[in-house]
Amino acid sequence: MIARAQRGEVEAFGELYEHYMEPIYRYLHSWVGNSGDAEDLTETVFLRSFQALPRYQDRGLPFSAFLYRVARNVLVDHHRQRRDEATIEEADRQGEGPGQLDEVLIRRERLMALRQALAALPPDYGEVIRLRLLLGLPTGTVAAWMGRSEGAARVLLFRALKALRQRLTDRDDAH
């Protein structure tokens, strides 16, 4: 299918899109936490992938590993352009009733704490947690995407979870 897409068969690329769109979207959504942005970024990933397809070379890794690299680059670009956080006023404007606002803010605070703890981890730790746990990708896929063996991916996940748990515990102890 990849070879057909490289030859310019739009239908073949459409099949690749249908097959890989959901995991790429979930990966991006785990980073941005916003459906609209995740959809836009997903489209950007596939547009860039389509443009780069003539240069794509099969190196024995799944095609999803190529898309993952493109997605990481798109995220880097996105984060360079945006450095803002949702405000309380935005939460209020989303139609939440006054009684629900506290719940929304608590959920956001917990999510923010998790995101901050993930961001404070070494990059590989954050990636393995997002890919394996938040996205639910199989260990073999995570290993291929990260360019590691399955055993190394498992060890990395164990160490990453230990470090994340420690960061969250330290944060809770400080509050």
What does the domain layout of the chain look like in residue ranges? 2-81, 102-174
Q: In a 3-state reduction of DSSP, which class is residue 86?
A: coil
Structure token digits, residue 170 = 């330290």
pLDDT in tens, 62-91: 888 899 989 988 988 887 776 544 444 444
Please state the φ and ψ torsions of residue 19, each to the nearest 5 degrees: -70, -40
pLDDT in tens, 111-122: 777 778 888 889
pLDDT exceeds cutoff 70 at 100: no
Q: Provide the pLDDT for residue 102.
A: 65
pLDDT-based confidence at residue 175 (cuts at 50, 70, 90): low
Say yes or no: domain 102-174 is CATH 3.30.70.141: no
Between CA 16 and CA 9 the distance in angstroms is: 11
Q: In a 3-state reduction of DSSP, which class is residue 52?
A: helix
Give the predicted TM-score (pTM) of the model: 0.59
102-174 matches 2-81 in CATH topology: no
Between CA 78 and CA 64 the distance in angstroms is: 20
Say yes or no: domain 2-81 is CATH 1.10.1740.10: yes
Higher pLDDT, 93 or 117: 117
Average pLDDT value for residue range 28-46: 89
Residue from 32, 23, 33, 170 nearest 107 by CA: 33
Q: In a 3-state reduction of DSSP, which class is residue 37?
A: helix
Q: Provide the pLDDT for residue 120.
A: 87
pLDDT in tens, 128-164: 988 888 777 888 888 988 889 999 999 999 999 898 8
